[in-house]
Amino acid sequence: MSDTKTTGSCQCGAVTYEITGDPMFAAHCCCNSCKKASGADHITAAFYMDDQIELKGEVASFSMTADSGATSTRHFCPTCGSRLYSTNSSRAGVKGIQVGTMDNPTNIEPRAVVYSKDRNAWDSFNDALPQFEKMPPPPPAK
Ligand SMILES: [Zn+2]
Ligand SMILES: [Zn+2]
């Protein structure tokens, strides 16, 4: 594991974080839930273990039931609304950080497009990336 430091914050700066090391996985998500939550045509998330992340500031959260039946919760700044990360009851101890909130996302390599069934036809990606209709099985541990 590298000791790369990645910092980030919400738009107003009330919530900040520092991450140590590389993500276990990063992907673009086109699901309708991410679209509604972000207001964008897709989001990019990088997944880390909780102990890699030092978070400062209070976040608000919103939970819903994912396709899988698990509870998916997104966490956002209650002041400016920036969506910072998501968690899933089926992946305890893991946070999916919104890459758009990072200051220096230099070690992020998205490796898949997930929920391509909800993808807008005009939203284009690197053709080399595998696309999954829904959520693929978890990647093998590094
Ligand atoms: Zn904020
Ligand atoms: Zn999504």
pLDDT bin (cut points 50, 70, 90) of residue 67 is: confident
Instruction: Please tell me the predicted confidence (pLDDT) of residue 56.
Output: 98
Instruction: Please tell me the predicted confidence (pLDDT) of residue 1.
Output: 63
CB 23, CB 48: distance < 8 Å: yes
- Those residues whose beta carbon sits under 5 angstroms from the ion ligand 2 are 29, 31, 34
| d(CA 101, ligand 1 centre) in Å | 10
Does the pLDDT at position 50 exceed 90? yes
Instruction: Please tell me the predicted confidence (pLDDT) of residue 122.
Output: 94
Distance (Å, whole) CA 121 – CA 77: 31
Instruction: Please tell me the predicted confidence (pLDDT) of residue 140.
Output: 56
Least confident of 19-23, 92-96, 113-117, 134-138: 134-138
| d(CA 58, ligand 1 centre) in Å | 9
Q: What are phi and psi of 45, to 5 degrees?
A: -125, 145
CATH topology of domain 5-119: 2.170.150
Which ligand is located closest to the Cα atom of residue 29?
2
Which ligand is located closest to the Cα atom of residue 10?
1
The residue written with tokens 């993500």 in the block is 23
Does the pLDDT at position 141 exceed 60? no
Rounded-to-10 torsion of CA 120, 124, 129, 132: 0
| d(CA 46, ligand 2 centre) in Å | 12
| d(CA 114, ligand 2 centre) in Å | 7
Instruction: Please tell me the predicted confidence (pLDDT) of residue 110.
Output: 95
Domain ranges in the chain are: 5-119
| d(CA 94, ligand 1 centre) in Å | 22
Which ligand is located closest to the Cα atom of residue 37?
2
Distance (Å, whole) CA 98 – CA 22: 14
| d(CA 30, ligand 2 centre) in Å | 6
Instruction: Please tell me the predicted confidence (pLDDT) of residue 6.
Output: 98
Which ligand is located closest to the Cα atom of residue 17?
1
